[in-house]
Amino acid sequence: MYRRHYLSGVGMSIGSLTVGSTAVSASDHLSVEIIETNAPVEGGSDLEVTAELENRSEEEVTEDIELVVGEDPEVVDSRTYSIEPNDSMTIDHFRFATYPVLQNDEFPVAIQAGGRSAETMVEVLGVDELDPQYAEPVREVSVRPESEIMFEVDTSMLEETDQIRWFVDGEHTLGPQSDRPSAYRNQTGWEFRILTFDSIGTHEVVAVADATENLRTSWEVTVAPDGNVSPSLDAARPATTEVPVEGDYELEVDVSTSGAELDRVIWWHHVAVSATTTDVSGTTDTASIEGGGLRDDSVDVWILDEDNVLTTEMAVWAFDEGATLDNGDESETDADGDSVTIIESNDPVTGGETLEVTATLENTSDETTTLDVELVVGEDPEVVETRSVTVASGSTEQVTLEFETYPVEQDDSFPVRVETAESADEREVTVYGTGE
């Protein structure tokens, strides 16, 4: 569980600052020493620690090596290593994302192994606040439980290689595996993170630009029963079966809100991973886009109000290969049936955690149908969950399937498929090793 919150990678070389350390413990055969860190670092950057372990016994020693940080000690990484008799090992695999503090801060870090511990103090430098004009939404937002908010940071002052890191209630969070954040940044110059808030209370969201000089911005989100209501998609025109997949088309949606006023509609094309934004306003409005050719494509619609409270409608229009041509003329294949599109997964997850895969199911037939939906995982396919979902004629339903991943020791990637009798979609997911 710690890796998702704190670690952003392992195995990098680090700086040349040598630090002292102390060792206390139970065994005369194993010694532990911190030989360098890259401190001081700016808040939001990685703190990296290199340790040396020496086995002075005549037998091989296998130990769990832990990186522990803070005045209230917390294990942020743990790995298992074997050391040959009368041999030593340098471990430079430990690092974690520091919190973007406003003021300089100092705290202990320790390497623990075999009952021994080496500790040193490190310094994290405070970072400046980003000008509010470079961040959306406003600093304080109130929403109802289970609402989504789209947080955005202007990256025009950053280099292409600079990254934005996100912290929620003090913990570093990784986003879902998706091409959309990078595509959105390339197309608009802004980077986004969508967060869902379920718990009543106040939450802090912090974004930090990990750049030459780190900058941070923050928001306070209040979740309450009387908070702002999310905007809604009231109608979409035309139906999928009426859209020409070859030739010009126009898509139109009616949107509304009873919370903050409407602001934007973002149209996402699956195939090109491209976003088109149209402005809306007031409490009700209509938005539209035009284009040419939707063969093999799907279009999602995101509706945002002025507080960036978000409603996502997935696969409002969806087309399989050989879908209906030219407003219902002859098809290359039978258009009646169902189509499956995976829209999201919560990977990467750590081995032993639950992997969730969300897909949309579209019924393109003239009758209501009940679909048996299977989640299939692995190179040697195995069905791990089956659900029955009823989908009305010409409608789309969303389903989330899940399974408990195996606690693998090493990072692993494998395919997952969502299948019905007539359609399937597949993507690759990643599970982090536990290092045990």
Write down the CATH superfamily of domain 128-223.
Immunoglobulins (2.60.40.10)
- The SS3 call for residue 184 is helix
In angstroms, the CA 59 to CA 53 distance is 14
CATH placement of domain 338-432: 2.60.40.10
Mean pLDDT, residues 155-174: 87
Domain ranges in the chain? 2-125, 128-223, 232-318, 338-432
Q: Which residues contact 72 (CB under 8 A, 6 or more apart)?
A: none
CATH placement of domain 2-125: 2.60.40.3880
| Per-position b or e across 89-99, b if 16+ CB within 10 A of its CB | eebbbbbbbbb
Q: Do 199 and 223 meet the contact criterion of CB atoms below 8 Å apart?
A: yes
Give the model confidence (pLDDT) of 310-345 as tens digits. 999 988 887 754 333 333 333 233 345 678 888 888
Query: Identical fold at 232-318 and 338-432?
Result: yes
Mean pLDDT of the chain, nearest integer = 83
Give the pTM.
Answer: 0.68
Letter for the amino acid at 288?
Answer: S
Choose the weakest-confidence range: 65-69, 209-213, 250-254, 321-325. 321-325
Letter for the amino acid at 431?
Answer: V
In angstroms, the CA 8 to CA 96 distance is 7
266 compared with 371, residue with greater pLDDT? 266
Q: Is 198 exposed, middle or buried (0-12, 13-18, 19+ CB in 10 A)?
A: exposed
Q: Is 39 exposed, middle or buried (0-12, 13-18, 19+ CB in 10 A)?
A: buried
Give the model confidence (pLDDT) of 62-109 as tens digits. 888 899 999 888 898 888 888 899 999 998 878 888 999 999 999 999
Q: Is 160 exposed, middle or buried (0-12, 13-18, 19+ CB in 10 A)?
A: exposed
CATH number (2.60.40.10, 3.40.190.80, 2.60.40.1180, 3.40.50.300) of 232-318 reads 2.60.40.10
Tell me the range of 92-96, 145-149, 353-357 where mean pLDDT is highest: 145-149
Q: Do 39 and 17 meet the contact criterion of CB atoms below 8 Å apart?
A: yes
Q: Do 356 and 402 meet the contact criterion of CB atoms below 8 Å apart?
A: yes
Which helix (H) or strand (E) segment holds residue 2: the answer is helix 2-6
User: What's the DSSP call for residue 159?
Assistant: -
In angstroms, the CA 133 to CA 147 distance is 24
